[in-house]
Amino acid sequence: MTNQEADLLVASHGPPVTPGPTATPSITSPPAAPATPQLVASLCGVGTCPTVYSTDRDTVLVQGYPATADGVPVPAGELLVEIPKEVLLEAARRLQEQSS
Going from N- to C-terminal start, the domains of the chain cover 34-100
Question: Per-residue pLDDT for 1 more than 60?
Answer: no
CA distance 9 to 25: 13
* Model pTM score: 0.66
Alpha helix segments (H runs only) across the chain: 3-7, 85-99
Q: Give the pLDDT confidence score for residue 34 in this predicted structure.
A: 86
pLDDT at 26: 55
pLDDT interval class at 22 (50, 70, 90) = very low
Residues 33, 24: Cα–Cα separation, whole Å: 22
Which tens digits make up the pLDDT trace of 65-100?
999 999 999 999 999 999 999 999 999 999 999 988
R_g of the chain, CA atoms, integer Å: 14
Distance CA(86)–CA(57), nearest Å, equals: 24
pLDDT tens digits along 40-70: 999 887 768 999 999 999 999 999 999 999 9
